[in-house]
Amino acid sequence: GRFGRYGGRYVPESLVPACQAVADEFARAWSDPGFRGSLAGLLSVYAGRPTPLTPALRLSAELDVTVLLKREDLTHTGSHKINNVMGQALLARRMGRARLIAETGAGMHGVATATAGALLGLPVKVFMGERDVERQAHNVFRMRLLGAEVVPVSTGSRTLKDATSEAMRHWVADADEAYYCVGSVIGPHPYPMMVREFQRVIGDEARRQCAAELPAAVPDYVVACVGGGSNAAGTFAGFVGTAAKLVGVEAEGGAGASNGEIGVLHGFQSLFLQDEDGHIEEAHSMAAGLDYPGVGPEHAHLRDLGRARYVTVSDAEAIAAAVRLARTEGILPAIESAHALAWVIRAAGTSDLPAGSTVLVTLSGRGDKDVATLMAETEL
Ligand SMILES: CC/C=C(/N=C/c1c(COP(=O)(O)O)cnc(C)c1O)C(=O)O
Protein backbone atom coordinates (compact mmCIF):
# COMPACT_ATOMS: atom_id res chain seq x y z
CA GLY A 1 0.00 0.00 0.00
CA ARG A 2 2.86 2.33 -0.78
CA PHE A 3 3.71 4.86 -3.46
CA GLY A 4 7.43 5.12 -2.90
CA ARG A 5 7.79 6.47 0.64
CA TYR A 6 4.18 7.68 0.74
CA GLY A 7 0.84 6.00 1.50
CA GLY A 8 0.66 3.23 4.10
CA ARG A 9 -1.99 2.65 6.75
CA TYR A 10 -1.52 4.82 9.84
CA VAL A 11 -4.75 4.03 11.64
CA PRO A 12 -5.76 3.06 15.19
CA GLU A 13 -5.56 -0.72 15.79
CA SER A 14 -9.38 -0.84 15.80
CA LEU A 15 -9.51 0.23 12.14
CA VAL A 16 -6.94 -2.24 10.83
CA PRO A 17 -9.41 -5.11 10.33
CA ALA A 18 -11.91 -2.80 8.61
CA CYS A 19 -9.25 -1.47 6.22
CA GLN A 20 -7.98 -4.99 5.52
CA ALA A 21 -11.53 -6.21 4.83
CA VAL A 22 -11.95 -3.47 2.21
CA ALA A 23 -8.55 -4.31 0.68
CA ASP A 24 -9.34 -8.05 0.50
CA GLU A 25 -12.82 -7.54 -0.95
CA PHE A 26 -11.56 -5.02 -3.51
CA ALA A 27 -8.85 -7.44 -4.66
CA ARG A 28 -11.48 -10.14 -5.18
CA ALA A 29 -14.02 -7.82 -6.82
CA TRP A 30 -11.50 -6.16 -9.15
CA SER A 31 -10.57 -9.55 -10.61
CA ASP A 32 -14.22 -10.69 -10.82
CA PRO A 33 -15.70 -10.21 -14.32
CA GLY A 34 -19.17 -10.10 -12.73
CA PHE A 35 -18.27 -7.14 -10.53
CA ARG A 36 -16.44 -5.37 -13.36
CA GLY A 37 -19.42 -5.95 -15.66
CA SER A 38 -21.94 -4.65 -13.12
CA LEU A 39 -19.85 -1.53 -12.55
CA ALA A 40 -19.31 -0.88 -16.27
CA GLY A 41 -23.02 -1.40 -16.86
CA LEU A 42 -24.02 1.12 -14.18
CA LEU A 43 -21.45 3.65 -15.40
CA SER A 44 -23.00 3.32 -18.87
CA VAL A 45 -26.78 3.17 -18.31
CA TYR A 46 -26.89 5.19 -15.07
CA ALA A 47 -23.88 7.52 -14.90
CA GLY A 48 -23.87 8.31 -18.63
CA ARG A 49 -20.40 7.13 -19.66
CA PRO A 50 -18.42 7.46 -21.85
CA THR A 51 -18.11 11.21 -21.40
CA PRO A 52 -17.27 13.27 -24.49
CA LEU A 53 -13.87 14.71 -25.31
CA THR A 54 -15.00 18.19 -26.43
CA PRO A 55 -12.71 20.39 -28.59
CA ALA A 56 -12.87 23.95 -27.21
CA LEU A 57 -12.63 25.60 -30.62
CA ARG A 58 -13.07 29.29 -29.72
CA LEU A 59 -10.87 29.12 -26.62
CA SER A 60 -8.23 27.18 -28.59
CA ALA A 61 -8.17 29.90 -31.25
CA GLU A 62 -7.75 32.60 -28.61
CA LEU A 63 -4.95 30.75 -26.81
CA ASP A 64 -3.23 29.30 -29.90
CA VAL A 65 -3.14 25.88 -28.25
CA THR A 66 -5.53 23.01 -28.98
CA VAL A 67 -7.68 22.51 -25.88
CA LEU A 68 -9.63 19.25 -25.51
CA LEU A 69 -12.05 19.00 -22.57
CA LYS A 70 -12.76 15.65 -20.91
CA ARG A 71 -16.33 16.17 -19.81
CA GLU A 72 -16.77 14.69 -16.33
CA ASP A 73 -19.20 17.56 -15.80
CA LEU A 74 -21.61 15.58 -18.01
CA THR A 75 -21.80 12.54 -15.77
CA HIS A 76 -24.90 11.92 -13.66
CA THR A 77 -24.73 14.23 -10.55
CA GLY A 78 -22.28 16.48 -12.42
CA SER A 79 -18.76 15.40 -11.47
CA HIS A 80 -16.22 12.55 -11.61
CA LYS A 81 -17.18 11.59 -8.05
CA ILE A 82 -19.87 9.22 -9.39
CA ASN A 83 -17.18 6.98 -10.96
CA ASN A 84 -15.62 6.26 -7.57
CA VAL A 85 -18.89 6.06 -5.62
CA MET A 86 -20.48 3.52 -7.98
CA GLY A 87 -17.49 1.24 -7.43
CA GLN A 88 -17.38 1.67 -3.65
CA ALA A 89 -21.16 1.34 -3.23
CA LEU A 90 -21.17 -1.96 -5.16
CA LEU A 91 -18.23 -3.08 -3.01
CA ALA A 92 -20.09 -2.11 0.19
CA ARG A 93 -23.10 -4.14 -0.92
CA ARG A 94 -20.83 -7.08 -1.82
CA MET A 95 -19.40 -6.85 1.72
CA GLY A 96 -22.90 -6.88 3.19
CA ARG A 97 -22.51 -3.47 4.81
CA ALA A 98 -25.74 -1.88 6.09
CA ARG A 99 -25.00 1.82 5.44
CA LEU A 100 -22.58 4.27 3.84
CA ILE A 101 -20.73 7.15 5.48
CA ALA A 102 -18.81 9.81 3.58
CA GLU A 103 -16.97 13.11 3.95
CA THR A 104 -17.61 15.99 1.58
CA GLY A 105 -16.27 19.47 0.90
CA ALA A 106 -17.79 20.74 -2.35
CA GLY A 107 -20.73 18.44 -1.78
CA MET A 108 -20.22 16.64 -5.10
CA HIS A 109 -18.92 13.50 -3.40
CA GLY A 110 -21.72 13.76 -0.87
CA VAL A 111 -24.33 14.05 -3.63
CA ALA A 112 -22.78 11.10 -5.49
CA THR A 113 -22.81 8.98 -2.32
CA ALA A 114 -26.43 9.97 -1.58
CA THR A 115 -27.29 9.07 -5.19
CA ALA A 116 -25.71 5.60 -4.91
CA GLY A 117 -27.44 5.07 -1.56
CA ALA A 118 -30.82 5.87 -3.14
CA LEU A 119 -30.08 3.62 -6.10
CA LEU A 120 -28.95 0.64 -3.99
CA GLY A 121 -31.22 1.20 -0.99
CA LEU A 122 -28.40 1.95 1.49
CA PRO A 123 -28.80 4.67 4.16
CA VAL A 124 -26.21 7.46 3.80
CA LYS A 125 -24.65 9.80 6.37
CA VAL A 126 -22.45 12.61 5.01
CA PHE A 127 -20.10 14.69 7.17
CA MET A 128 -19.61 18.26 5.93
CA GLY A 129 -17.80 21.24 7.48
CA GLU A 130 -20.17 24.04 8.52
CA ARG A 131 -18.27 26.45 6.26
CA ASP A 132 -18.93 24.18 3.30
CA VAL A 133 -22.58 23.64 4.30
CA GLU A 134 -22.94 27.41 3.81
CA ARG A 135 -20.94 27.89 0.62
CA GLN A 136 -22.23 24.76 -1.15
CA ALA A 137 -25.86 25.01 0.00
CA HIS A 138 -27.10 23.87 -3.45
CA ASN A 139 -25.50 20.48 -2.83
CA VAL A 140 -26.73 20.25 0.78
CA PHE A 141 -30.28 20.54 -0.56
CA ARG A 142 -29.54 17.88 -3.19
CA MET A 143 -28.10 15.46 -0.60
CA ARG A 144 -31.16 15.84 1.60
CA LEU A 145 -33.56 15.49 -1.37
CA LEU A 146 -31.75 12.26 -2.23
CA GLY A 147 -32.44 10.99 1.28
CA ALA A 148 -29.01 11.40 2.89
CA GLU A 149 -28.40 12.76 6.38
CA VAL A 150 -25.97 15.69 6.28
CA VAL A 151 -24.03 16.10 9.55
CA PRO A 152 -22.48 19.59 9.91
CA VAL A 153 -18.98 19.54 11.43
CA SER A 154 -18.08 22.51 13.62
CA THR A 155 -14.49 21.63 14.60
CA GLY A 156 -11.27 23.18 13.26
CA SER A 157 -11.51 25.05 9.98
CA ARG A 158 -15.00 23.60 9.46
CA THR A 159 -14.04 22.43 5.95
CA LEU A 160 -12.99 19.22 4.20
CA LYS A 161 -10.14 18.31 6.57
CA ASP A 162 -12.49 18.41 9.56
CA ALA A 163 -15.27 16.55 7.74
CA THR A 164 -12.79 13.78 6.92
CA SER A 165 -11.59 13.56 10.54
CA GLU A 166 -15.20 13.32 11.75
CA ALA A 167 -16.12 10.68 9.17
CA MET A 168 -13.11 8.56 10.24
CA ARG A 169 -14.00 8.97 13.94
CA HIS A 170 -17.53 7.81 13.12
CA TRP A 171 -16.23 4.85 11.15
CA VAL A 172 -14.12 3.69 14.11
CA ALA A 173 -17.31 3.56 16.17
CA ASP A 174 -19.35 1.73 13.50
CA ALA A 175 -16.75 -0.32 11.58
CA ASP A 176 -18.74 -3.56 11.50
CA GLU A 177 -21.92 -2.19 9.91
CA ALA A 178 -20.86 0.98 8.10
CA TYR A 179 -18.79 1.26 4.94
CA TYR A 180 -16.63 4.41 4.71
CA CYS A 181 -16.92 5.71 1.14
CA VAL A 182 -13.76 7.84 0.76
CA GLY A 183 -14.12 10.62 -1.82
CA SER A 184 -10.57 10.99 -3.10
CA VAL A 185 -7.19 9.24 -3.44
CA ILE A 186 -6.47 9.76 0.26
CA GLY A 187 -6.90 7.69 3.42
CA PRO A 188 -5.30 4.46 4.62
CA HIS A 189 -4.39 1.66 2.18
CA PRO A 190 -6.28 0.47 0.06
CA TYR A 191 -8.19 3.72 -0.52
CA PRO A 192 -5.63 5.78 -2.54
CA MET A 193 -4.99 2.87 -4.92
CA MET A 194 -8.64 1.72 -5.04
CA VAL A 195 -10.06 5.20 -5.74
CA ARG A 196 -7.47 5.71 -8.49
CA GLU A 197 -8.58 2.40 -10.02
CA PHE A 198 -12.24 3.47 -9.93
CA GLN A 199 -11.30 6.86 -11.47
CA ARG A 200 -8.98 5.51 -14.17
CA VAL A 201 -12.05 5.11 -16.40
CA ILE A 202 -11.49 8.83 -17.13
CA GLY A 203 -7.94 8.33 -18.38
CA ASP A 204 -8.59 5.05 -20.14
CA GLU A 205 -11.50 6.56 -22.10
CA ALA A 206 -9.53 9.73 -22.86
CA ARG A 207 -6.56 7.68 -24.10
CA ARG A 208 -8.79 5.84 -26.55
CA GLN A 209 -10.50 9.05 -27.64
CA CYS A 210 -7.15 10.75 -28.25
CA ALA A 211 -5.88 7.73 -30.20
CA ALA A 212 -8.94 7.96 -32.44
CA GLU A 213 -9.07 11.74 -32.81
CA LEU A 214 -5.50 13.10 -32.62
CA PRO A 215 -2.95 12.67 -35.44
CA ALA A 216 -0.30 12.23 -32.75
CA ALA A 217 -2.66 9.87 -30.82
CA VAL A 218 -1.45 11.40 -27.55
CA PRO A 219 -1.84 15.03 -26.37
CA ASP A 220 1.33 16.97 -25.55
CA TYR A 221 -0.06 17.89 -22.09
CA VAL A 222 -2.61 16.34 -19.73
CA VAL A 223 -3.87 18.80 -17.09
CA ALA A 224 -6.22 18.30 -14.12
CA CYS A 225 -6.98 20.08 -10.87
CA VAL A 226 -5.78 18.45 -7.64
CA GLY A 227 -7.59 18.54 -4.32
CA GLY A 228 -6.98 15.09 -2.82
CA GLY A 229 -6.13 14.22 -6.43
CA SER A 230 -8.65 11.64 -7.68
CA ASN A 231 -9.73 13.16 -11.01
CA ALA A 232 -6.07 13.87 -11.79
CA ALA A 233 -4.94 10.38 -10.70
CA GLY A 234 -7.63 8.78 -12.86
CA THR A 235 -6.79 10.94 -15.87
CA PHE A 236 -3.01 10.51 -15.47
CA ALA A 237 -3.45 6.72 -15.24
CA GLY A 238 -4.43 6.67 -18.92
CA PHE A 239 -1.29 8.53 -19.99
CA VAL A 240 1.44 7.68 -17.51
CA GLY A 241 2.98 5.24 -20.03
CA THR A 242 3.04 7.83 -22.82
CA ALA A 243 5.15 10.91 -23.58
CA ALA A 244 2.36 13.24 -22.46
CA LYS A 245 3.44 15.83 -19.88
CA LEU A 246 1.27 15.54 -16.74
CA VAL A 247 0.34 18.73 -14.88
CA GLY A 248 -1.57 18.79 -11.58
CA VAL A 249 -3.04 22.19 -10.67
CA GLU A 250 -3.62 22.96 -7.00
CA ALA A 251 -5.28 25.88 -5.27
CA GLU A 252 -2.72 28.45 -4.14
CA GLY A 253 -4.05 28.14 -0.56
CA GLY A 254 -4.28 24.37 -0.48
CA ALA A 255 -1.25 23.08 -2.30
CA GLY A 256 0.02 19.93 -0.60
CA ALA A 257 2.07 18.70 -3.54
CA SER A 258 3.54 22.11 -4.32
CA ASN A 259 4.14 23.45 -0.80
CA GLY A 260 3.78 20.49 1.59
CA GLU A 261 6.25 18.51 3.67
CA ILE A 262 6.10 14.81 4.47
CA GLY A 263 3.69 14.05 7.30
CA VAL A 264 0.77 11.86 8.34
CA LEU A 265 -2.95 12.68 8.42
CA HIS A 266 -6.18 10.72 7.88
CA GLY A 267 -4.36 7.40 7.91
CA PHE A 268 -1.75 8.04 5.23
CA GLN A 269 1.74 9.48 4.81
CA SER A 270 2.06 12.14 2.13
CA LEU A 271 2.85 15.85 1.65
CA PHE A 272 0.92 18.21 3.92
CA LEU A 273 0.95 21.89 4.82
CA GLN A 274 2.36 21.85 8.35
CA ASP A 275 4.33 23.94 10.82
CA GLU A 276 7.79 22.94 12.08
CA ASP A 277 6.18 20.87 14.86
CA GLY A 278 4.29 18.80 12.28
CA HIS A 279 0.95 20.42 13.17
CA ILE A 280 -1.15 20.34 10.02
CA GLU A 281 -2.01 23.88 8.91
CA GLU A 282 -5.33 25.05 7.49
CA ALA A 283 -5.84 25.30 3.74
CA HIS A 284 -7.43 28.41 2.26
CA SER A 285 -9.22 28.01 -1.04
CA MET A 286 -12.49 29.37 -2.31
CA ALA A 287 -12.95 25.97 -3.96
CA ALA A 288 -14.33 23.72 -1.24
CA GLY A 289 -13.21 20.62 -3.12
CA LEU A 290 -9.58 21.82 -3.18
CA ASP A 291 -9.63 23.22 0.36
CA TYR A 292 -7.51 20.40 1.79
CA PRO A 293 -4.01 20.75 3.33
CA GLY A 294 -2.61 17.60 1.75
CA VAL A 295 -2.42 15.58 -1.42
CA GLY A 296 -2.84 11.89 -2.27
CA PRO A 297 0.30 9.75 -1.88
CA GLU A 298 0.42 8.79 -5.55
CA HIS A 299 0.82 12.47 -6.49
CA ALA A 300 3.56 12.96 -3.91
CA HIS A 301 5.36 10.02 -5.52
CA LEU A 302 4.78 11.25 -9.10
CA ARG A 303 6.21 14.59 -8.03
CA ASP A 304 9.32 12.99 -6.51
CA LEU A 305 9.77 10.90 -9.67
CA GLY A 306 9.47 14.03 -11.81
CA ARG A 307 6.78 12.25 -13.86
CA ALA A 308 4.21 14.91 -13.10
CA ARG A 309 4.52 18.62 -12.40
CA TYR A 310 2.43 20.40 -9.76
CA VAL A 311 1.56 24.09 -10.03
CA THR A 312 -0.81 26.45 -8.21
CA VAL A 313 -3.29 29.09 -9.34
CA SER A 314 -5.10 31.75 -7.32
CA ASP A 315 -8.81 32.05 -6.57
CA ALA A 316 -8.95 35.06 -8.91
CA GLU A 317 -7.36 33.16 -11.80
CA ALA A 318 -9.82 30.30 -11.31
CA ILE A 319 -12.84 32.61 -11.27
CA ALA A 320 -11.64 34.34 -14.44
CA ALA A 321 -11.13 30.97 -16.12
CA ALA A 322 -14.62 29.78 -15.19
CA VAL A 323 -16.25 32.91 -16.63
CA ARG A 324 -14.04 32.75 -19.73
CA LEU A 325 -15.04 29.12 -20.44
CA ALA A 326 -18.70 30.02 -19.96
CA ARG A 327 -18.42 32.88 -22.44
CA THR A 328 -16.22 31.24 -25.09
CA GLU A 329 -17.60 27.69 -25.00
CA GLY A 330 -20.95 27.86 -23.20
CA ILE A 331 -19.71 25.53 -20.44
CA LEU A 332 -19.91 26.57 -16.77
CA PRO A 333 -17.29 24.51 -14.91
CA ALA A 334 -17.04 23.82 -11.20
CA ILE A 335 -14.66 26.30 -9.58
CA GLU A 336 -12.37 23.33 -8.79
CA SER A 337 -12.16 22.36 -12.48
CA ALA A 338 -11.56 26.01 -13.43
CA HIS A 339 -8.20 25.80 -11.64
CA ALA A 340 -6.93 23.38 -14.32
CA LEU A 341 -8.10 25.68 -17.09
CA ALA A 342 -6.61 28.73 -15.35
CA TRP A 343 -3.12 27.23 -15.60
CA VAL A 344 -3.65 26.49 -19.33
CA ILE A 345 -4.71 30.13 -19.87
CA ARG A 346 -1.69 31.45 -17.93
CA ALA A 347 0.84 29.10 -19.57
CA ALA A 348 -0.42 29.15 -23.18
CA GLY A 349 2.22 30.59 -25.48
CA THR A 350 5.04 30.29 -22.95
CA SER A 351 7.73 27.61 -22.64
CA ASP A 352 5.43 25.92 -20.12
CA LEU A 353 2.80 25.37 -22.82
CA PRO A 354 4.16 26.35 -26.25
CA ALA A 355 1.88 27.69 -28.98
CA GLY A 356 0.52 24.90 -31.14
CA SER A 357 0.55 22.34 -28.31
CA THR A 358 -2.37 19.98 -27.75
CA VAL A 359 -3.62 19.93 -24.17
CA LEU A 360 -6.25 17.67 -22.61
CA VAL A 361 -7.99 19.24 -19.61
CA THR A 362 -10.25 17.22 -17.35
CA LEU A 363 -13.38 19.21 -16.52
CA SER A 364 -14.03 17.44 -13.24
CA GLY A 365 -17.45 18.95 -12.64
CA ARG A 366 -20.14 21.46 -13.53
CA GLY A 367 -20.56 24.85 -11.86
CA ASP A 368 -24.22 24.90 -10.76
CA LYS A 369 -23.07 24.72 -7.13
CA ASP A 370 -20.87 27.80 -7.61
CA VAL A 371 -23.17 30.25 -9.38
CA ALA A 372 -23.71 32.33 -6.22
CA THR A 373 -19.96 32.60 -5.64
CA LEU A 374 -19.24 33.42 -9.27
CA MET A 375 -22.01 36.03 -9.41
CA ALA A 376 -20.62 37.70 -6.28
CA GLU A 377 -17.12 37.79 -7.78
CA THR A 378 -18.03 38.92 -11.27
CA GLU A 379 -19.51 42.28 -12.24
CA LEU A 380 -22.08 41.15 -14.84
C1 LIG B 1 -14.16 14.24 -1.21
C2 LIG B 1 -14.06 15.70 -1.00
C3 LIG B 1 -13.95 16.47 -2.28
C4 LIG B 1 -15.00 16.93 -3.02
N5 LIG B 1 -14.83 17.47 -4.26
C6 LIG B 1 -13.71 17.65 -4.86
C7 LIG B 1 -13.67 18.08 -6.25
C8 LIG B 1 -12.44 18.12 -6.94
C9 LIG B 1 -11.14 17.79 -6.25
O10 LIG B 1 -11.14 16.45 -5.84
P11 LIG B 1 -10.07 15.41 -6.48
O12 LIG B 1 -10.47 15.17 -7.89
O13 LIG B 1 -10.16 14.17 -5.64
O14 LIG B 1 -8.73 16.11 -6.38
C15 LIG B 1 -12.41 18.46 -8.28
N16 LIG B 1 -13.55 18.77 -8.95
C17 LIG B 1 -14.75 18.77 -8.33
C18 LIG B 1 -15.96 19.13 -9.12
C19 LIG B 1 -14.84 18.43 -6.96
O20 LIG B 1 -16.05 18.43 -6.35
C21 LIG B 1 -16.41 16.87 -2.59
O22 LIG B 1 -16.68 16.64 -1.44
O23 LIG B 1 -17.29 17.04 -3.47
The gap between the terminal CA atoms of the chain, to the nearest Å, is: 49
What does the pLDDT look like over 253-281, one tens digit per residue?
999 999 999 999 999 999 999 998 989 99
> How much is the average pLDDT of 325-343?
98
For the CA of 79, the nearest atom of ligand 1: 18
Q: Answer whether the bond into residue 190 is a cis peptide, omega within 30°.
A: yes
b/e per residue, 207-245, with b = 16+ CB within 10 A?
bebbeeebeeebbbbbbbbbbbbbbbbbbbbbbbeeebb
pLDDT at 376: 87
Tell me how far apart the alpha carbons of residues 172 and 270 are, in angstroms, rounded to a whole number.
22
pLDDT higher than 80, residue 379: no
What does the pLDDT look like over 176-231, one tens digit per residue?
999 999 999 999 999 999 999 999 999 999 999 999 999 999 999 999 999 999 99
> How much is the average pLDDT of 246-252?
98
pLDDT at 279: 93
Determine whether 161 is an active site residue.
Answer: no
> How much is the average pLDDT of 321-332?
97
DSSP state of 14: G
Check: CB of residue 111 under 8 Å from CB of residue 140.
no
pLDDT at 1: 85
> How much is the average pLDDT of 352-367?
98
Check: CB of residue 3 under 8 Å from CB of residue 300.
yes
Model confidence at 380, in pLDDT bands (50, 70, 90)?
Answer: low
> How much is the average pLDDT of 151-172?
97
Distance 79 CA to ligand 1 centre (A): 8
Give the residue, by CA position, lying nearest to ligand 1 atom 5. Answer: 289
Distance 109 CA to ligand 1 centre (A): 7
Give the residue, by CA position, lying nearest to ligand 1 atom 7. Answer: 289
pLDDT at 212: 97
Output phi, psi for 45, to 5 deg. Answer: -80, -15
> How much is the average pLDDT of 61-86?
98
For the CA of 366, the nearest atom of ligand 1: 18
CB of 106 closer than 6 angstroms to any ligand 1 atom: yes
Tell me how far apart the alpha carbons of residues 329 and 66 are, in angstroms, rounded to a whole number.
14
For the CA of 78, the nearest atom of ligand 1: 18
